[in-house]
Structure 1
Amino acid sequence: MKPLLVGDIRKLLQGELICGSENWKVRNAIYYKRHDLTESHTLMFVSRSDTVNWQEINLKGPAFVISDKPTAELKNALPNTTVIKVASLVQSYWKFIKYYRGLFTIPVVTITGTCGKTTTKDMIKHILSKDRHIQASISSKNEPRRSLPYLMGIDDKTDAAVFEHGLGNSGNITHQCMIYQPTIGIITNIGVHHLDGCKNLEGYIKAKSEIVDGIKKDGKLIINADDENTKKVPLHSFKGKIIYFGVGMRSDFRASTIKFAKHGMDFRLHFNKRTYKAFIPGYGEHQVYNALAALAAVNEMGMDLQEAITRLATYENMTRHLEFSNGVGGSTIIDDTWTNNPTSIEAALKVLDSIGKGKNVVLVLGDINRLGTFEKKYHGEIGSMVAKRNIHTLITIGSKAEEIARQAIQDGSKATIHICKEVKGLKELLDPILDNDAILLIKGPMSSRSMIEFANSLKMGD
């Protein structure tokens, strides 16, 4: 965080000094009870309803409390704590965020989409980090409550920032855009997810579309030209620049001649009447789409495109994202336990269509969560996808995933199918079929620690 003088913040918020000194600087900002208090020199927004541990705050002093609590209660602060009283904590909170974000004129990229957010974000960070200071969200930790600490990670050394949007309910992306005020927005794709919070697919698309109005005036929007649901995003209100990526001729950043190569994908990139040879580590056409979005973003930030392509080739693919390993019995294990939704399962199956040729393909599929009243429908659709393919063995884990197996059987799948309630006993079931001719994909929800651990148990290392 850029250090700010306490007195200047009090003047900004038109607060009343209750106690303490104004002549020192804060170096961190949190919302009390939402974020952990771990550092000294911290500004904290304290709600009227919060129960305050003044001793804990004082031990981390000097500390700075901003609150709309009654004056009598605020006078309980200990000597190492500065307290100001404001008329409205909510208004003060947003006024401070607007002020702090306004201190920086750097590019800020935010990313939404059903799949590829974290990968695209990390690609952008990887490309830029060689010669720039980049602030980015950590892994896929993208919940709205994390947005304030991420914003506070921007300081005078920061050249650019890139964050992904979490979406559990409608309004989440609007909230995060108010904090980040992105100059560049990206929609990777829109599949099916979080229907419990958004009610149905139309509500989910609408929630994803919030990024359009969240981008700063004269900003850029980078979107997937080939994705059917993304085409439903209303763009009439957007006054900035729209950049399309994909494989169709409509795309500004277009990929062609996509081929599986050693440890990744070769493709040709067409942009601005020029053609570039490109490579991205990680298997699957979806990985090429992620790369196109990342390249479009860094190009808009003034990065030389050829240099960006060169740097992209050294990107290290994320763990548990279609991660290939040598497995027990000489088999190949594909660990894709990072997340689980219909879009990511379809992408993984398409990779198997190419990588699994001539192999005995084994699928271990867990529950897909957060589908609301559409659980049966979308698990069934996965079962139909499986039935169309040459699958040796299908194993489902969990009560929801049973529908995958039932639909695959109904659609005439030739696979040997096992329906399991849990991971226990699965290794004994797989041992006889995991050999040099076997390739196993394991895909389950991020919340399933047992499936993650089971995937690890099948790996033999290099």
Structure 2
Amino acid sequence: MEPILVKDLRTLLEGDLVCGTEDWYVKEAVVYKRHKLDRPNTVIFLYKKELIYWGHLESISPCVVITDKPEEELRKVRKNTTVIRVKSTLQAYWKFVNYYRNLFDIPVVAITGTCGKTTTKEMIKHIVSKYHLVQATESSKNEPRRSFPYLMGINRQTEMAVFETGLGNIGNIKHQCLIYQPTIGIITTIDAHHLDGCKTLEGYVQAKGEMVEGVKKNGTLILNADDDNIKKISLARFMGKVIYFSTKKTSDYKANHIRFANDGMEFDLFYANSSYPVFVPGYGEHQVYNALAAIAAVHAMGMNIQEAVQRLATFENMVRHLEISKGINGCTIIDDTWTINPLSVEAALKVVDEIGKGKKSILLLGDINRLGDYEIEYHQKVGSMVAERMFDTLITIGEKAKEIGKQALRDGFKGHVHMFLTVEGVKEILENKLDDHSLLLIKGPMKSRSMIDLASSLKLIKPTDEQ
């Protein structure tokens, strides 16, 4: 965080100094009970109804509390804690957010999408970090409550920022964009997910579409031209520049001649009547889409396309994102235990279709969560996807995932089907099936520690070596 003089902070928020001093600088900012509070020189936004043990603040002194609590309560505060009373903590918070964000005239990218947002974010960060100091979200930790601390991570040395936005309910992306105020917004893909919060696919599309109005005036919007659900989002009120990427139709950034290569994908990028050969680490057409979005973003941030392509080739594909390794009995394992939703399952199956040619393909699929009232329907759709293919074995883990196996059988799947509630007993079946002609895809929810551990136990390298 860029240091701010407490006196200037009080003036900005039009508050009254209740106690303490204001001739020192704050270097951290938190919302009480939402963010970790353990450092001195912190500004703390405290809401009227929040209970607080004022004595705790002694351990992180000096600190300043911004609050709209009644004056009689604030009179009990010890004098070495600075307290500024405002009319509304909520209004003071948003005024501070807006003030702080606009201290920095830098490119800020915000990314959303059902799939690809973490990888695209990491690609952008990797490409531009060779020459620029970049602030970014950590891994896929994209919950709205984290947005404020991520913003506070920007300071005068920061030259660019790229943030992944999380979505659980309608309004989440709008909230995060109010904090980040992105100059560039990206929507990678939209398909069924988080239907427990958004209720329907239409509601989910609407929630993702909040990115359109979240981009700053005269900013840039980067969209997947091949995604039918993205096409449902109205751009009528967007006043900036819209850029499209595609593998199928004419667009600003177009990928042609897509092919599987050693440890990744190759394609020809066409932009403004010029062609660029591209290699991107990681398998699958979905990885090509991620690369197109990343290249479009860094180019919009001012980077030369040729150099962006060269940097992209050195990107290290993320762990547990269709991560390929050698497994027991000489088999090949595709570890895709980072997350699971219908669209990502389809992408993974397409990769198996390609690199599993001539091999005995075995699928291990877990529960797909957060589908609300559409839980059974979408598990069945995944079962139908499996049934279209000539795989040797399908193993499901979890009560919900049983519908995948049941539907695959109903649709005439010719392979073996095993349905388990837990991972217990699964390894024994796999040990008998896996050999040097086998390929195993393991795909499950990121919070399923048991599936992650199972995948690790089947690899020839130890889990500690994978970090």
Corresponding letter in the other structure for 1:73: E
* Alpha-carbon separation, structure 1, partners of 2:461 and 2:307: 33
Counterpart in the other structure of 1:146: 146
> Larger deviation: 70-79 or 263-272?
70-79
| Amino acid across the alignment from 2:182 | P
Identity, in percent, stands at 60
Q: Residue 399 of structure 1: CA displacement?
A: 0.4
- How many pairs are equivalent? 462
Alignment partner of 1:434 is 2:434:
yes
Alignment of 1:270-419 (within 5 A): 270-419=270-419
SS at match of 2:141: coil
| Secondary structure at the counterpart of residue 433 of structure 2 | coil
Separation in structure 2 between the aligned mates of residue 421 and residue 255 of structure 1, nearest angstrom: 42
Structure 1 residue 415 displacement after superposition: 1.1
What's the CA shift for 1:249?
3.0
Distance 1:29 1:255 in 2: 43
Partner of 2:465: none
Aligned residue in 2 for 1:232: 232
Amino acid at match of 2:78: L
Q: Cα distance, 1:114 vs. partner?
A: 0.1
Displacement of 1:56 in angstroms is 1.8
| Rounded Cα–Cα distance in structure 1 between residues aligned with 2:80 and 2:315 | 46
Q: Which moved more, 1:50-59 or 1:178-187?
A: 50-59
Where does residue 179 of structure 1 map in the other structure? 179
Instruction: State the Cα distance separating 1:338 from its structure 2 match.
Output: 0.5
Alpha carbons 1:244, 1:250 under 8 Å: kept: no
Task: Note the alpha carbon deviations across 1:390-447, whole angstroms, 9 max, x for none.
Answer: 1100000000000000000000001100010000111111111110011000011111
CA distance in 2, matches of 1:78, 1:153: 30
Q: 2:65·2:83 contact (CA, 8 Å) conserved in 1?
A: yes
Distance 2:54 2:411 in 1: 64
The answer (yes or no) to whether the contact 1:58–1:79 under 8 Å persists in 2 is no
Q: CA deviation at 1:27?
A: 0.5
Q: Structure 1: which amino acid aligns with 2:69?
A: K
Deviation of 1:74 after TM superposition, in Å, equals: 1.8
Counterpart residue type for residue 299 of structure 2? N
Matches of 1:76 and 1:431, distance apart in 2: 67
Aligned-pair CA distance for 1:79: 3.8
SS in 2 for 1:303: coil
Match of 1:66, SS state, is strand
- Provide the secondary structure at the position in 1 that maps to 2:390: coil
The answer for the alignment partner of 2:95 in structure 1 is 95
Deviations 1:251-310 (A, max 9, x none): 100001111111100111000110001100000000010000000000001101101100
In structure 2, C-alpha distance between the alignment counterparts of 1:77 and 1:279, rounded to whole Å: 61
For residue 455 of structure 1, what is the aligned residue in structure 2? 455
Describe the superposition over 1:372-399 as per-residue Cα deviations: whole angstroms up to 9, x where unpaired. Answer: 0001110000000000001100000000
2:35 aligned residue: 35
Cα shift readout 1:217-236 (whole Å, capped 9, x = no counterpart): 00000000001111111111
Q: Residue 160 of structure 1 corresponds to which residue in structure 2?
A: 160
In structure 1, the residue matched to 2:191 is 191
TM-fit CA distance, 1:50: 1.3
Distance 2:75 2:289 in 1: 56
**What secondary structure does 2:146 align onto?**
helix
Question: Which residue identity is paired with 1:58?
Answer: E
TM-score (norm 2): 0.98
The aligned amino acid for 1:436 is D
Partner secondary structure for residue 17 of structure 2: strand
* Residue 62 of structure 1 pairs with residue 81 of structure 2: no
Contact kept, 8 Å, 2:226 with 2:249, in 1: the verdict is no
Q: Give the unaligned 5+ runs of structure 2.
A: 463-467
**Matched residue, 1:108:** 108
Is the 2:109–2:162 Cα contact (8 Å) retained in structure 1?
A: yes
What's the CA shift for 1:248? 2.6
Shift of residue 318, structure 1, vs aligned partner: 0.6
CA RMSD of aligned residues (A): 0.8
1:159-201 deviations in Å (ceiling 9; x for gaps) = 0100011000000000001000000000001011000100100
| Runs (4+) off by over 6 Å | none
Secondary structure (helix, strand or coil) at the match of 2:91 reads helix
* Gap regions ≥5 residues in structure 1: none
CA distance in 1, matches of 2:118, 2:184: 16
User: 1:131 matched to which residue of 2?
Assistant: 131
Q: Distance in 2 between matches of 1:242 and 1:73?
A: 52
Q: Decide which moves more: 226-235 or 407-416.
A: 226-235
Q: What SS does the corresponding residue of 1:432 show, helix, strand or coil?
A: helix
Q: 2:265: which partner in 1?
A: 265
CA displacement at 1:77 relative to structure 2 = 2.5
Residue aligned with 1:109, SS: strand
Summarize deviations over 1:337-357 as a string: whole Å, max 9, x none: 101100100000000110000
